[in-house]
Structure 1
Amino acid sequence: MQIKTCEKQHNQVCRLIVLAFISFLLLWVAIPAKTWADDPLPDAALRDVLGENDIVVDNTDTAVTRTGTWSTGTSNPGKYFGSNYEFVNGGTGQVQTIKYTPSVPQTGVYEVFMVFSSSSNRADNVTVQVSHQGGVATQTVNQEKNGAVWYPLGQYTFTAGSSGYVQINVAGANGYVIADAIRLAVPVPDPVDPGPLAVNEPLGPVIFRSGFEAGSVGVTDPSDTGTITRITGTDTSVSAPNDWTTHLNGYSKFGDLVFEGHSGGDNSTSRFAKIIADPTPGGSGNKVLQYWLGNSGGTADRGRVQALLKNNTNLTEVFYKYRMYLHPDIELVKDSVDANGWFTLAEFWNQPSWTSGAQYPFRMSLNLTKDLGVGKPFKLRISGQTTPTSSEDDTTQFVTQWEERNDWNVPTGVWLNMEVYYKQGDANSGRFYLAITPEGGEKRVVFDVTNWTYHPQNPAPEGLTHFHPLKLYTSRSLTNFVKDHGGALQILWDNLEFWPSMAPDAALRNAVGPNDIVVDNADTGAVKTGVWSTGNSNPGKFYGSDYNFVNNGTGQTATYSPVISTAGMYRVYATFIGSSNRSNSVPYTIYHNGVTSTVSVNQRITSYHKMWYPLGDYYFSSGTGNYVQINSAGTSGYVMADAIRLEPL
Structure 2
Amino acid sequence: MTVHFYLLLFSILMASPFCCAQLATTTGELIFQTGFDGNSRVVKDVGSNDHGALLEYIDGIDTGVSPPANWQTDWQRIVKNGRMQLQYTGGDSTKRFARVIAEPGNPANKVLQFWLDDSWLASEGQKKARIQANIYGIKNGYTEFYQSVRVFLTADFNALKTYPHPISWCTLSEFWNNEWWVKGEPYGFRITLGIGKPSAGESELNFILNAENAGQKEVWHAEPTTSNVAVPIGKWFTMEYYFKEGNQTNGRFYLAITPEGQPRQVVYDITNFTHNTADPAPSGLTGYNPMKLYTSKELINHVKAQGKTLQIYWDDFKLWKYKRPGT
User: Is the Cα–Cα contact under 8 Å of residues 318 and 501 in structure 1 kept in the other structure?
Assistant: yes
Residue matched to 2:38: 214
User: Is the Cα–Cα contact under 8 Å of residues 414 and 439 in structure 1 kept in the other structure?
Assistant: yes
Residue matched to 1:295: 118
Alignment map for 1:591-610 (pairs within 5 Å) = none
- Counterparts of 1:500 and 1:416, CA distance in 2: 22
Residue matched to 1:16: none
Deviation at 1:504, TM superposition (A): 7.2
Q: Secondary structure at the match of 1:262?
A: coil
User: Is the Cα–Cα contact under 8 Å of residues 71 and 83 in structure 2 kept in the other structure?
Assistant: no
Verify: 1:268 aligned to 2:93, yes or no.
yes
Residue matched to 1:454: 275
Residue matched to 1:470: 291
Residue matched to 1:403: 222
Do the aligned partners of residues 477 and 338 (structure 1) sit closer, same or farther apart at CA in structure 2, a change above 3 Å counting? Answer: same
Aligned length: 291
Residue matched to 2:137: 311
Structure 1 stretches lacking a partner, 5+ long: 1-200, 389-396, 507-649
Deviation at 1:247, TM superposition (A): 2.1
User: Is the Cα–Cα contact under 8 Å of residues 46 and 55 in structure 2 kept in the other structure?
Assistant: no
Amino acid at match of 1:495: D
Could you give the per-residue CA deviations for residues 477-496 of structure 1, whole angstroms, max 9, x where no partner exists? 10111111101111110001
Residue matched to 2:9: none
The structure number with the bigger radius of gyration is 1
Residue matched to 2:264: 443
Deviation at 1:214, TM superposition (A): 1.9
- Counterparts of 2:309 and 2:230, CA distance in 1: 21
Deviation at 1:382, TM superposition (A): 1.4
Deviation at 1:401, TM superposition (A): 2.8
Verify: 1:352 aligned to 2:179, yes or no.
yes
Deviation at 1:291, TM superposition (A): 0.7
Deviation at 1:250, TM superposition (A): 2.4
Amino acid at match of 2:29: P
Deviation at 1:316, TM superposition (A): 1.3
Deviation at 1:404, TM superposition (A): 2.5
Higher helix share: 2
- Counterparts of 1:222 and 1:255, CA distance in 2: 13
User: Is the Cα–Cα contact under 8 Å of residues 168 and 208 in structure 2 kept in the other structure?
Assistant: no
- Counterparts of 1:504 and 1:209, CA distance in 2: 18
- Counterparts of 2:31 and 2:39, CA distance in 1: 18
Deviation at 1:217, TM superposition (A): 2.6
User: Is the Cα–Cα contact under 8 Å of residues 56 and 87 in structure 2 kept in the other structure?
Assistant: yes
- Counterparts of 1:440 and 1:343, CA distance in 2: 26
Alignment map for 1:59-138 (pairs within 5 Å) = none
User: Is the Cα–Cα contact under 8 Å of residues 60 and 71 in structure 2 kept in the other structure?
Assistant: yes
- Counterparts of 2:326 and 2:150, CA distance in 1: 23
Deviation at 1:440, TM superposition (A): 0.7
Amino acid at match of 1:219: V
- Counterparts of 2:326 and 2:165, CA distance in 1: 39
Deviation at 1:465, TM superposition (A): 1.1
Do the aligned partners of residues 212 and 333 (structure 1) sit closer, same or farther apart at CA in structure 2, a change above 3 Å counting? Answer: same
User: Is the Cα–Cα contact under 8 Å of residues 421 and 501 in structure 1 kept in the other structure?
Assistant: no
- Counterparts of 1:370 and 1:385, CA distance in 2: 20
Could you give the per-residue CA deviations for residues 449-473 of structure 1, whole angstroms, max 9, x where no partner exists? 1110011111122322111010101
Residue matched to 1:76: none
Could you give the per-residue CA deviations for residues 583-642 of structure 1, whole angstroms, max 9, x where no partner exists? xxxxxxxxxxxxxxxxxxxxxxxxxxxxxxxxxxxxxxxxxxxxxxxxxxxxxxxxxxxx
Verify: 1:278 aligned to 2:103, yes or no.
yes
User: Is the Cα–Cα contact under 8 Å of residues 202 and 499 in structure 1 kept in the other structure?
Assistant: no
Q: Secondary structure at the match of 1:245?
A: coil
Alignment map for 1:486-635 (pairs within 5 Å) = 486-503=307-324
Do the aligned partners of residues 457 and 471 (structure 1) sit closer, same or farther apart at CA in structure 2, a change above 3 Å counting? Answer: same
- Counterparts of 2:221 and 2:306, CA distance in 1: 35
- Counterparts of 1:505 and 1:450, CA distance in 2: 17
Deviation at 1:417, TM superposition (A): 0.8
Bigger RCO of structures 1 and 2 (CA < 8 A, at least 6 apart): 2
Deviation at 1:354, TM superposition (A): 0.6
Amino acid at match of 2:113: Q
Do the aligned partners of residues 222 and 436 (structure 1) sit closer, same or farther apart at CA in structure 2, a change above 3 Å counting? Answer: same
Residue matched to 2:10: none
Q: Secondary structure at the match of 2:98?
A: strand
Could you give the per-residue CA deviations for residues 2-33 of structure 1, whole angstroms, max 9, x where no partner exists? xxxxxxxxxxxxxxxxxxxxxxxxxxxxxxxx
Amino acid at match of 2:38: A
What TM-score do the two structures reach when normalised by structure 2? Answer: 0.83
Could you give the per-residue CA deviations for residues 94-113 of structure 1, whole angstroms, max 9, x where no partner exists? xxxxxxxxxxxxxxxxxxxx
- Counterparts of 2:287 and 2:244, CA distance in 1: 14
Alignment map for 1:129-208 (pairs within 5 Å) = 203-208=27-32
- Counterparts of 1:257 and 1:251, CA distance in 2: 10
Could you give the per-residue CA deviations for residues 30-86 of structure 1, whole angstroms, max 9, x where no partner exists? xxxxxxxxxxxxxxxxxxxxxxxxxxxxxxxxxxxxxxxxxxxxxxxxxxxxxxxxx
Do the aligned partners of residues 355 and 228 (structure 1) sit closer, same or farther apart at CA in structure 2, a change above 3 Å counting? Answer: closer
What TM-score do the two structures reach when normalised by structure 1? Answer: 0.43
Deviation at 1:342, TM superposition (A): 1.2
Residue matched to 2:167: 340
Deviation at 1:222, TM superposition (A): 7.6
Amino acid at match of 1:217: R
User: Is the Cα–Cα contact under 8 Å of residues 402 and 451 in structure 1 kept in the other structure?
Assistant: no
Alignment match of 2:188 (pick from 341, 361, 364): 361
Deviation at 1:241, TM superposition (A): 1.4
Structure 2 stretches lacking a partner, 5+ long: 1-24, 48-53
- Counterparts of 1:344 and 1:372, CA distance in 2: 18
